[in-house]
Amino acid sequence: DTAVSQTPKYLVTQMGNDKSIKCEQNLGHDTMYWYKQDSKKFLKIMFSYNNKELIINETVPNRFSPKSPDKAHLNLHINSLELGDSAVYFCASSQVQGAPGNTIYFGEGSWLTVV
């Protein structure tokens, strides 16, 4: 069983479109995250949710709107896609936000290409 699964794995779309990436974890974790890895391979935190509540929003544009229907799911919706949004988006989860020594489990990534 995949611990953190995200769909779709690959997404090619035109500028201006709206798209969503779904994420589910079956680890029973309370906290979920979205990270973005750009073309230079830097991995940056975007959002952190704890028990469906937004904890961290790292100055991400308003066009990005995470939604957590329950603590096992954290979806990422992106409006009005721009060329600069092309990146790999990783969903992740951990047991408790802020706990020292926490291990983060990552999904396999969603490769978004905006043309």
Partner 1 sequence: DAKTTQPNSMESNEEEPVHLPCNHSTISGTDYIHWYRQLPSQGPEYVIHGLTSNVNNRMASLAIAEDRKSSTLILHRATLRDAAVYYCISSGNTPLVFGKGTRLSVIA
Residues that bind partner 1 (CB under 8 A): 4, 31, 33, 35, 41-45, 48, 56, 90, 92, 94, 97-109
Minimal distance in Å, beta carbon 99 to partner 1?
7
Return the exposure string of 83-107: e unless at least 16 CB atoms fall within 10 Å of the residue's CB, then b. Answer: eebbbbbbbbbbeebeeeeeeebeb
Between 64 and 105, whose beta carbon lies closer to partner 1? 105
Single-letter code of the amino acid located at 43? L
How many CA atoms lie less than 13 Å away from 53 in the CB half-sphere? 5
Instruction: Look up residue 95 and give its two tokens.
Output: 């047991």
Minimal distance in Å, beta carbon 53 to partner 1?
15
Q: Is residue 75 within 8 Å of 23, Cβ to Cβ?
A: yes
Minimal distance in Å, beta carbon 33 to partner 1?
5
Between 69 and 100, whose beta carbon lies closer to partner 1? 100
Between 14 and 101, whose beta carbon lies closer to partner 1? 101
